[in-house]
């Protein structure tokens, strides 16, 4: 089976090579000056593209001739019916034209990881903050979330160069204690992945594979290590699945004899500050205090080798770096009378909190059911962000969404190949693809609402920014550092002063009379906050890149029945109407591509699982 899969992959690559050819790179002065180009640009062969363009021209002539005939042969007996049909035909013709314009010049850009390694050694890669959002442990199963987080912790990126944040918008103790279990199991899983070059690094998906070709350098130890880790993962799953009942039994024991308060209790004997099982004032889904818990501290910059095999630790990690990335749990404050703005509000809180804890110049966000499928996934977008040609002007890099558990016939069109492998490559030839809500790496300062030519640290003026970004002095002072593109992550001391500043940034009232949700951060008051956020960034002059790699960088969970699929489709239909309405305040410099990508992105968003839409 492994041989068949490799053969199919090779055949697919040959088919793609028959379509794409290298494009001229334009000005090569940067490369000649000692700054190598970090990605290659490919275009469709002229023998394929030119006939397609000619066909589009023929169709356009036919449409114009049809409209001319309709005008000359109007129906005088039913003018109003004729006028309505003409308006409808004109709209469909205009939509068709917008659909075809980007496809006249499809572009594919391929990251060059080898060039990145040559130019940017391991020690000088910039820092990354990784955001994951979740809400309900029932609608969004905890096992999806913990596997996503484990795959991030095990990614092939410098351990001290990235930090991982989980936003639990439900404020449940289940998610918090699941993170404690993740931190414990990751001490075994992450070194195992590094030792044996495991792919993918989501344990559920890895252990679910029928064949696993070994590519590591310690084949003699692999089988025994594999059996041990698989057994530990089985016990880990049991602990995760039993968290709800464990917490309930513990809380019942603490609440025994107290008829007034039915609190939810943590393992250390203190009351959980978030949402209780039996909800009460200040402990409800929409009413609880903000919570920040650093689960794993920022690691040191020097490798820390593990111990040799022993009775208690049968896996030999003596030659493996056992450090783990920083892991932070966040649940923002919620109060009655405030619109929490769902996922967009949670993302903006994470953006502010991370600015004080790690302040990496780049951030990447995931839905809770999208795991890292390719361990090099965090390196690939750096090829675009650090490229000497357009890296300074690239706001975000968008990856395609790939899905597991899709039936062979793909009856619900979950793969959406036309969009991800056609439309997005077409938009790549213009200002770039739009933001799809997950699997996207951003320049931090682009989310702060700054224009590309002004984002360099020495050009950032903080005077008067309080009215736009809020009046937290530590947060405002962090902005110039976050704009330094080559900046790493500097460890901070989590003391009472810092916790007080973080609590301020998470309050509901912090965004009052500021530009958050409009010109800063993720956009509010619209169901398709991801699409409109991308449009706003494009409007400010930034461009974006589309990055597709093999194996797929990220994979998610697809709808398993027609009901879920229709629910998602209906949820995404607001995009074209809201984004192209006369009252819309956001538009891309290329109006045609904006309207076109709005309508197509509504279809794309429908592939996202409602379980992790926050």
Residue 385 has a pLDDT of 94
The annotation places the binding site for Mn(2+) at 343, 367
**91 and 155 inside one domain:** no
pLDDT of residue 18: 79
CA angle centred on 539, ends 535 and 540, rounded to 5°: 125
Query: What radius of gyration do the chain's Cα atoms show?
Result: 26
- pLDDT at position 520: 95
Selected catalytic residue, list 112, 225, 369, 530: 530
Q: Are residues 328 and 460 in the same domain?
A: no
Looking at 370, 393, 413, which one is the last position of a domain?
A: 370
Q: What is the pLDDT of residue 244?
A: 95
Nearest-5° Cα angle at 150, 144 to 154: 145
- The DSSP output letter for 277 is S
Mean pLDDT taken over the chain: 85
Shared domain for 498 and 607, answered yes or no, is: yes
Q: What is the pLDDT of residues 127-148, one digit of tens each?
A: 999 999 999 998 899 999 999 9
201 & 339 share domain: yes
Phi, psi of 294, rounded to the nearest 5 degrees: -85, 105
Provide the token pair at 40.
């290659």
Annotated binding site: 140, 169, 342-343, 367
Residues of the chain with pLDDT under 50: 1-12, 14-15, 32, 574-614
Helix (H, G, I), strand (E, B) or coil at 435: coil
Prediction pTM value: 0.88
pLDDT per position as a tens digit, 177-218: 999 999 999 999 999 999 999 999 999 999 998 877 888 888
Q: Are residues 75 and 202 in the same domain?
A: no
Q: Is 530 labeled as catalytic in the residue annotation?
A: yes
Give Cα separations from 406 to 8, 75, 201, 281, 416 (angstroms): 18, 50, 20, 43, 11
pLDDT of residue 497: 94
Contacts 24+ apart (CB under 8 A), 261-268: 264/173, 266/173, 266/176, 266/177, 267/177
Q: Is 114 a domain residue?
A: no
Residue 16 lies in a domain: yes
How many residues comprise the chain? Answer: 614
Residue 316's Cβ-side half-sphere holds a number of Cα atoms within 13 Å equal to: 9
Alpha helices in 483-580 (DSSP H): 496-506, 529-539, 562-572, 574-579
Q: Looking at the structure, do residues 468 and 523 belong to the same domain, yes or no?
A: yes
| Within-domain flag for 498 | yes
Residue 434 CA neighbour count, 13 Å, CB half: 34
What pLDDT score does 29 carry? 52
Whether residues 64 and 138 fall in one domain: no
Residue 364 and residue 402 in one domain: no
End-to-end CA separation in angstroms for the chain: 38
Q: For residue 441, which phi and psi values (nearest 5 degrees)?
A: -105, 130
Is position 117 within any domain? no
The answer as to whether 250 is a domain residue is yes
**Same-domain check for residues 327 and 352:** yes
Structural domains counted in the chain: 3
- Do 243 and 309 belong to one domain? yes
- Cβ atoms of residues 532 and 383 within 8 Å: no
Instruction: Give the pLDDT score at 568.
Output: 65
Query: Would residue 369 show up in a list of annotated catalytic residues for this protein?
Result: no
Alpha-carbon span 439 to 132, nearest angstrom: 10
Residue numbers belonging to the annotated binding site for UDP-alpha-D-glucose: 140, 169, 342
Our measurement of the distance from residue 320's CA atom to the centroid of its chain's CA atoms, rounded to an integer in Å, reads: 29
Q: Examine the domain organization and report whether 334 and 199 are in the same domain.
A: yes
Residue 113 maps to a domain:
no
Query: What is the C-alpha to C-alpha distance for residues 349 and 270, in angstroms, rounded to an integer?
Result: 25
115 assigned to some structural domain: no
Residue 521 lies in a domain: yes
Residue 310 sits in the same domain as residue 354: yes
264 close to 277: Cβ distance less than 8 angstroms: yes
Domain encompassing residue 87: 2-105
What's the confidence (pLDDT) of residue 521? 96
Instruction: Enumerate residues 6+ apart whose C-beta is below 8 A from 429.
Output: 102, 105, 106, 107
Tokens 């039913």 belong to 78
Q: How many Å apart are CA 297 and CA 325, to the nearest integer?
A: 8
pLDDT digits (tens, 9 = 90+) for 320-348: 999 999 999 999 999 999 999 999 999 99
Phi and psi of 558, rounded to 5°?
-95, 160
Given the residues 112, 169, 316, 387, select the one marked as catalytic: 169
């Amino acid at each position: 089976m492994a041989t068949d899969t490799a053969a199919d992959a090779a055949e697919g690559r040959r088919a793609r090579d028959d379509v794409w050819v290298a494009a001229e790179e334009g000005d090569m002065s940067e490369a000649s000056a000692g700054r190598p180009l970090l990605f290659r640009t490919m275009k469709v062969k002229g023998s394929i593209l030119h006939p397609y363009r000619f066909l589009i021209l023929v169709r356009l002539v036919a449409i114009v001739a049809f409209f001319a005939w309709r005008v000359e042969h109007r129906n005088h007996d039913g003018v109003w019916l004729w006028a309505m049909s003409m308006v409808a035909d004109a709209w469909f013709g205009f939509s068709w034209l917008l659909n075809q314009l980007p496809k006249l010049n499809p572009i594919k850009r391929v990251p060059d990881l080898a060039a990145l390694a040559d130019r940017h050694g391991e020690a000088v890669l910039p820092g990354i903050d990784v955001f994951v959002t979740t809400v309900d442990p029932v609608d969004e199963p905890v096992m999806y979330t913990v596997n996503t987080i484990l795959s991030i912790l095990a990614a092939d990126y410098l351990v001290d160069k990235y930090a991982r944040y989980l936003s639990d918008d439900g404020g449940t103790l289940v998610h918090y204690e699941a993170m404690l279990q993740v931190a414990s199991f990751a001490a075994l899983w992450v070194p195992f992945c590094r030792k044996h070059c495991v792919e993918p690094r989501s344990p559920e998906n890895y252990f679910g594979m029928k064949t696993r070709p070994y590519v590591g350098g310690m084949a003699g130890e692999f089988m025994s290590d594999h059996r041990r880790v698989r057994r530990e993962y089985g016990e880990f799953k049991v602990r995760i699945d039993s968290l709800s009942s464990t917490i309930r039994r513990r809380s019942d024991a603490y609440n025994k004899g107290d008829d007034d308060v039915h609190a939810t209790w943590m393992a250390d004997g203190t009351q959980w500050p978030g949402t209780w099982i039996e909800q009460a004032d200040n402990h409800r889904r929409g009413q609880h205090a903000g919570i920040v818990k650093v689960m794993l501290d920022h690691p040191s910059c020097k490798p820390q080798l593990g111990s040799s095999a022993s009775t208690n630790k049968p896996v030999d990690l003596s030659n493996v770096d056992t450090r783990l990335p920083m892991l932070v749990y966040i649940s923002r404050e919620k109060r009655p009378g405030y619109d929490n703005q769902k996922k967009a509000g949670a993302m903006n809180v994470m953006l502010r909190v991370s600015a004080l804890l790690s302040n990496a110049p780049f951030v990447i966000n995931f839905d809770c059911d999208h795991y890292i499928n390719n361990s090099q996934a965090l390196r690939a977008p750096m090829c675009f962000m650090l490229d000497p040609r357009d890296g300074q002007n690239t706001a975000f890099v968008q990856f395609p969404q790939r899905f597991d558990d899709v039936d062979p016939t793909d009856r619900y069109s979950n793969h959406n190949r036309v969009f991800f492998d056609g439309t997005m490559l077409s938009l790549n030839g213009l200002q770039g693809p739009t933001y799809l809500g997950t699997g996207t790496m951003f320049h931090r300062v682009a989310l702060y609402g700054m224009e590309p030519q002004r984002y360099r640290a020495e050009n950032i003026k903080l005077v008067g920014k309080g009215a736009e970004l809020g009046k937290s002095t530590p947060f405002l002072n962090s902005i110039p550092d976050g704009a330094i593109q080559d900046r790493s992550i500097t460890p901070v001391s989590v003391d009472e002063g810092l916790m007080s500043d973080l609590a301020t940034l998470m309050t509901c009232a912090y965004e009052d009379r500021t530009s958050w949700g409009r010109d800063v951060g993720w956009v509010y008051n619209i169901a398709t906050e991801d699409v409109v956020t991308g449009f706003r960034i494009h409007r400010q002059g930034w461009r974006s890149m589309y990055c597709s790699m093999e194996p797929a960088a990220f994979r998610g969970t697809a709808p398993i029945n027609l009901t879920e699929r229709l629910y998602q489709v209906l949820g995404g239909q607001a995009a074209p109407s809201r984004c192209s309405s006369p009252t819309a305040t956001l538009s891309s410099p290329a109006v045609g591509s904006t309207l076109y990508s709005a309508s197509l992105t509504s279809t794309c968003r429908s592939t996202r699982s409602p379980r992790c839409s926050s």
